[in-house]
Amino acid sequence: MPLPLLALAVAAFGIGTTEFVIMGLLPNVARDLGVTIPAAGMLVSGYALGVTIGAPILAIATARMPRKKALMNLIGVFIVGNLLCAVAPHYAVLMAARVVTAFCHGAFFGIGSVVAAGLVAPNRRAQAIALMFTGLTLANVLGVPLGTALGQEFGWRATFWAVTGIGILAAGALAVCLPAQIDMQETSLVREFSVLKDPQVLMVLGISALASASLFSVFTYITPILEDVTGFTPHAVTFVLLLFGLGLTVGSTLGGKLADWRLMPSLLAFLLAIVVVLTIFAGTMHSAYPAMATIFFWGVLAFAIVPPLQMLIVHRASHAPNLASTLNQGAFNLGNATGAWLGGTAIAAGAPLTSLPWVGVTMAIAALALTLWSVQLERRTRRVPAGAPG
């Protein structure tokens, strides 16, 4: 794999760390800024909303820009956003800084996916995308635990200073490693938006949102599940989450390899396996070791679907991939927020924590059904000659 992919992975590591590390720092932030835990929790929602809204805006703003310049500008936004987080004097400024940081998230991964796919041979494109996203998975394995420990020891601002440093390092790597000229198609706003008329592209966005909702309807509440249902101590929960993060890393690599081999069959198999694993977790969550094994395999599958979905959106929107690829990142984050809301709504309605895997199963089945419908529609389209009545 060429060095530019490693530079993209370093940037992905920084972006992933700043997105998720806030969850481990919520009590520190709330105490320091004098707000409640729920108010501090809105910093997570604000970031997700920033990704969803900001992704298409920045994708359009950078549509005619050389790809290297676009990525450098986006990592610049990331650095400024984290710097503002580190010096934020009060809650409102921190919220605004989180939203500013989030704006670069979707566009960077969207454009980065297109660039990564274009840097390698066609039969290795999904693996290239997976390598970039490995930075995001490693953020959960290394960045978040280390960032949380740093913030607990030296204050939460120290974590954002450290992430700012990672952003500067990533900017240097991108400046040195990315080629000055990266092939890009001539595009226009009309052409970019034309992808939204393609039902196949819209289906991929829907699959991404549903798959992500399946994950976060359960994962958002994994700590209380592990403590109250499984019986883990808080220290043991940290270890289990590390195990989940390792599963994400394995899954990203596995998903890239299998997607390059058989894209749609791999995606269908992964979604079906998620249904099975979450069904199993509904039973294994009551016992420590079975729960740990299930959570690891769930982590593998949760990120195994990311490279196939990102590759699929790039393939189906090949005439204008930048906006579509970026919108797919927004779809993932919309699924994050939706899944958390669905799980919270179920709990607020009186459902026990043990019912949450079934919420995840329902969302995964919906994603699987939409994928099957997409396959059927694609086959039907191929059978109908161009210009023939439907």
Q: What is the DSSP string of 224-288?
A: HIIIIII---HHHHHHHHHHHHHHHHHHHHHHHHHHHH-HHHHHHHHHHHHHHHHHHHHHHTTSH
Boundary of a domain, candidates 132, 167, 184: 184
What is the rounded distance in angstroms from the CA atom of residue 7 to the CA atom of residue 167?
11
Print the domain residue range for 353.
Answer: 187-390
What is the rounded distance in angstroms from the CA atom of residue 306 to the CA atom of residue 12?
14
Residues 217 and 288 in one domain: yes
Residues 204 and 222 in one domain: yes
Residues 285 and 346 in one domain: yes
Helices 263-284 and 199-219 pack at an angle, to 10 degrees, of 20
How confident is the model over 191-238, as pLDDT tens digits?
666 667 778 888 999 999 999 999 988 887 887 888 889 998 877 877
How confident is the model over 372-389, as pLDDT tens digits?
999 888 777 766 544 443
Angstrom distances, CA of residue 239 to CA of 140, 243, 277, 343: 12, 6, 20, 23
Residues 96 and 27 in one domain: yes
* 8 A C-beta contact, residue 130 and residue 255: yes
Residues 148 and 211 in one domain: no
Boundary of a domain, candidates 184, 211, 238: 184
CATH number at residue 268: 1.20.1250.20
* 8 A C-beta contact, residue 339 and residue 212: yes
Average pLDDT, the chain: 84
Note the pTM of the prediction, 2 decimals.
0.77
The runs of H, that is alpha helices, within 317-355 are 321-348
What is the predicted pLDDT for the residue at 387? 45
How confident is the model over 55-90, as pLDDT tens digits?
778 877 877 788 888 899 999 999 999 999 999 999
* 8 A C-beta contact, residue 39 and residue 30: yes
Following CA atoms 263, 269, 270, 272 in sequence, which dihedral angle do they give, to the nearest 10 degrees? Answer: 140
Domain count, the chain: 2
What is the rounded distance in angstroms from the CA atom of residue 390 to the CA atom of residue 387?
9
Residues 47 and 138 in one domain: yes
Residues 55 and 141 in one domain: yes
